[in-house]
Amino acid sequence: RAIGARRVLVLGDGMLVETVREEITVACARFGGQVRHRQDQAGERFDLVLALTGALPAMPTAADAGHPFLGSDAAIATWQYGWRGAPEALGGEGFVLTRREEVTVVLADEPRGLLYGLFEVVRLGESAFGSGLGAAIHRPAMRLRMINHWDNVDAHPVMGQVERGYAGGSLFWQDGLPRRDLARVQAYGRLLAACGINAATVNNVNVHRAETHLLTDRLGEVAAIARVLRPYGVRVHLSVNFAAPIVLGALATADPLDPAVRDWWASATRRVYEAIPDFGGYVVKADSEGQPGPFAYGRSHAEGADMLADAVAPFGGVVHWRAFVYNHRQDWRDRSTDRARAAYDHFVPLDGRFRDNVIVQVKHGPMDFQVREPVSPVIAAMPATRVAVEVQATQEYTGQQRHICYLGPLWSSVLRFAPHGPDGSTVADIVAGGGGFVAVSNAGADHFWTGHPLAQANLYAAGRLAWQPTADPTALLDEWIGLTFNPATGDDAEPVRRTLHLLMDDSWRTYEQYTAPLGIGFMVRPGHHYGPDVDGYEYTPWGTYHFADRDGVGVDRTRASGTGFTGQYPEPWSQIYESLDDCPDELLLFFHHVGFRHVLHNGSTVIQHIYDTHFAGAERVAEMRQQWHELDGLVDPALFTRVVALLEEQVRSAEEWRDQINTYFFRKSGVPDAKGRPIY
Ligand code: GCU
């Protein structure tokens, strides 16, 4: 409404400028404003000007005091920002936003910058037109801000259509065929652009048979998606099967050093670029959880990745090569093998051996998207490699979009982590210089996009943190609330805002309280990973153990007496994690095996802490349910009802977690709860 009710001038050409015009035209048709493509009469005034710098009339100088729409101050101010003559100041996606003499001005060198500038004005709403708006240059910290869909074309017999998907079916395929009507995909492209995301893989990293064909005979389906996402500045990438030359090309091998294999990839890739000229590149999960890879041929992951990198290089493409490589068939009796070590052990020796267009994509923690893990040591250990950090917006281990769990604070803590100590660079600095930020998508065909309507905030935060990793996650949540619960749609904004902050600000920590304690992770039901099962993975080959016995719990990952994982960190963390005294409480059981009566920094014992947090967590969820009910009548009724049902389930599940975890540890330890609460 803030834009649609005003007089707007859009200057420039190009597909994304057309997108901007279209957005504003629709808004003006709805709210009575006007949009112009050029200034017809000298002196005509506008409230908002969005312009490509190349499309501006002759460069204003101080002498052009009467410059028609900028006014002298704005002209000089923007000139001082060097937006012209120094294009690197803005970059391909940056923009200047300023307001002088009652005109709000967005200037960008490239159409993509103008699109992001538009969404910034949308975010600001009325305040973009107030005197308080300062002049500023906006630029994304990360060049690659990517979403990975884990969508399958066909429904997988165990995983369903979207692997670890909790938002209905795929946005792209239905019943094994591409969706005919791509209107929803178009709306999704708009949503991604509004969050600041500029790249998307459309298919699962586990590339099954039908999806392998997306590279060749089903490429048209990918091209159709790319066509729809292109006007929103989102490039399409594809997850590929490393064995594609065998599966699709009838070659006898997929050996990356075999000339026939290299030729096969080169020509397949050439055809991809003929169909999709701005194709982003490949994402590869190799030698991981049963996926094929270079190990079968005695080749390294650098040799595998470089072969694909050479295929996409002539077209400016990149290869995201995932570092999630570990032995998923380990013997649970063998305590010397540590899954947490695997990515570092496999990849760090290869530092410097990857091509410039290879990005090693590293999960944020060394295990697997648990509610609490230390930051992966790989991120800081490959200075000669482009590294991306991967987070999981889809809530596989954080409540599966049935629980409210706002992950902005978790991701923010990862991005702010300084592997070499407070004076060194942060994870955000490292990945901004290389591979960027990747989030596994949580969106699907669900009416609310994300199953749990409040899980949309995670998608939003993922894009916004990739743009500005130093942003305060609570402020980002506030932005999302403002954009989603809108007085224009009948929502009563202020009570909604207050209640959503109450429910969501600390929801990640609440989830942590009632699930696996002190960084130990897992304790979920094997297979689908929902709900508690403390020993579910304890005697399996997956490498995810807690080692609880009658005396204590936790994994000894020290150099002194354990797996030596702490040695993968640089100082000071190597020493901090190694030391039982210095290790942060929340990661204690990730790094140490301790007795139940071990005293934490917070003064409580491990066992009492387990009881206290589990009672508190479940209690907090019951409060959240009550708080949500205060919004009855203040938000969209369908959304209200959906969240009511989901909160019922969250309460039930949190109580189940509480009782199973508390009972398990009471029975193991024999230590009663100091407060005498019910344990079974
Ligand atoms: C987890 C998840 C799998 C997924 C894998 C991955 O292990 O459970 O479904 O394939 O991560 O990231 O590749």
Q: What is the pLDDT of residues 125-174, one digit of tens each?
A: 999 999 888 878 899 999 999 999 999 999 888 888 999 999 999 999 99
Cα(293)–Cα(406) distance, rounded to whole angstroms? 35
Cα(501)–Cα(580) distance, rounded to whole angstroms? 35
Q: Which pLDDT belongs to residue 83?
A: 43
Cα(526)–Cα(547) distance, rounded to whole angstroms? 17
Asked whether the predicted pLDDT for residue 73 surpasses 60, the reply is no
Confirm whether the ipTM is greater than 0.85.
yes
**CB distance 200 to 146 below 8 Å:** yes
Cα 637 to middle of ligand 1, angstroms? 35
Greater model confidence, 160 or 600: 600
Catalytic positions are 289, 368, 396
Q: Which pLDDT belongs to residue 193?
A: 98
Token readout for 233 is 């500045």
SS3 482: helix
Specify the length of the chain in residues: 680
Mean pLDDT of 363-387: 98
Give the rounded percent of residues in the chain with a pLDDT score beyond 90.
Answer: 87
Cα 228 to middle of ligand 1, angstroms? 28
Is the distance from the beta carbon of residue 339 to the nearest atom of ligand 1 less than 6 Å?
no
C-alpha distances in Å from residue 646, one per residue of 116, 405, 640: 34, 12, 10
Mutate to test the pocket of ligand 1, among 150, 156, 164 (most ligand atoms within 8 A of CB): 164
Q: Which pLDDT belongs to residue 137?
A: 87
Cα 324 to middle of ligand 1, angstroms? 9
Cα 150 to middle of ligand 1, angstroms? 9
Contacts of residue 498, Cβ cutoff 8 Å, sequence gap at least 6: none
4-8, 128-132, 435-439, 465-469: which range is least confident on average? 128-132
Q: Give the DSSP H or E segment for 137.
A: strand 136-138
Greater model confidence, 214 or 69: 214
Closest listed residue to residue 298, CA positions, set 255, 343, 244:
255
Contacts of residue 381, Cβ cutoff 8 Å, sequence gap at least 6: 344, 348, 351, 568, 570
Nearest CA residue ID for atom 7, ligand 1: 368
Contacts of residue 604, Cβ cutoff 8 Å, sequence gap at least 6: 612
Position 557, amino acid: R
Query: Where are the domains positioned within the chain?
Result: 7-138, 145-484
Mean pLDDT of 641-648: 98
Mean pLDDT score of the chain, rounded to an integer?
A: 93
Nearest CA residue ID for atom 12, ligand 1: 324
DSSP 107: E
Q: How confident is the model at residue 577 (pLDDT cuts 50, 70, 90)?
A: very high
Cα 337 to middle of ligand 1, angstroms? 20
- Domain 145-484 fold is TIM Barrel (3.20.20)
Q: How confident is the model at residue 37 (pLDDT cuts 50, 70, 90)?
A: confident
Asked whether the predicted pLDDT for residue 298 surpasses 70, the reply is yes
Q: Which pLDDT belongs to residue 66?
A: 46
Question: Does 7-138 carry CATH code 3.30.379.10?
Answer: yes
Nearest CA residue ID for atom 2, ligand 1: 164
Is the distance from the beta carbon of residue 287 to the nearest atom of ligand 1 less than 6 Å?
no
Cα(272)–Cα(260) distance, rounded to whole angstroms? 18
Find tokens 């982590």 and name the residue: 417
Count of helices and strands (H, E) across the chain: 20, 20
Q: Which pLDDT belongs to residue 77?
A: 44
Asked whether the predicted pLDDT for residue 75 surpasses 90, the reply is no
Domains 7-138 and 145-484 agree in fold: no
Kindly report, residue by residue over 303-317, the tens digit of the pLDDT: 999 999 999 999 999
Is the distance from the beta carbon of residue 364 to the nearest atom of ligand 1 less than 6 Å?
no
Give the rounded percent of residues in the chain with a pLDDT score beyond 70.
Answer: 94
Closest listed residue to residue 166, CA positions, set 456, 589, 574:
456
Q: Which pLDDT belongs to residue 627?
A: 98
Is the distance from the beta carbon of residue 164 to the nearest atom of ligand 1 less than 6 Å?
yes
Burial 68-100 (b: 16+ CB within 10 A, else e): bbbbbbbbbbbbebebbeeeeebbbbbbbbbbb
